[in-house]
Amino acid sequence: MSARAEILTALQRTGYSAEGAASLLARADKEPHDPVPNADFLATLYGGHALVVQYGDCELIGSCQCGREFGQSTPDASLDTFVPGWEHHVMTEVTDV
């Protein structure tokens, strides 16, 4: 069993519904991995704003770790498709630490 499955099972044992447990775990994935993020390194997993690129149904999906979406692209396109939106987000929209 994966750690993720174990966490979901443990949350359900404490009273969370399956949907509630999954939602809580999804929220935790988006949070900074450092409990006290350094303001100079917010654009990292530890800062909570890393660029995330996923491969979906024959498409690439770009988003920020915090959940902000940057669109879709084809697998043969450059990943630079997502960088301007992410960079703008990190440099101008992210103000919380």
Q: What is the pTM assigned to this prediction?
A: 0.79
Spatial distance between the Cα atoms of 43 and 57, rounded to a whole number of angstroms: 27
**Average pLDDT, stretch 2-20?**
95
Considering the chain, what is the average pLDDT of its residues? Answer: 92
Identity of the residue numbered 10: A
Q: Mean pLDDT across the stretch 62-76?
A: 95
Q: How many helices (H) and strands (E) does the chain have?
A: 3, 3
Any idea what DSSP says for residue 33? Answer: S
CB atoms within 10 A of CB 52: 20
The pLDDT score that the predictor gives to residue 63 is: 96
pLDDT in tens, 33-54: 998 988 889 999 999 999 999 9
Q: Is the pLDDT of residue 62 over 60?
A: yes
**pLDDT at position 80 over 70:** yes
Say what the pLDDT of residue 96 is: 62
At 82 the pLDDT is 96
Rounded distance, CA 63 to CA 54, Å?
Answer: 8
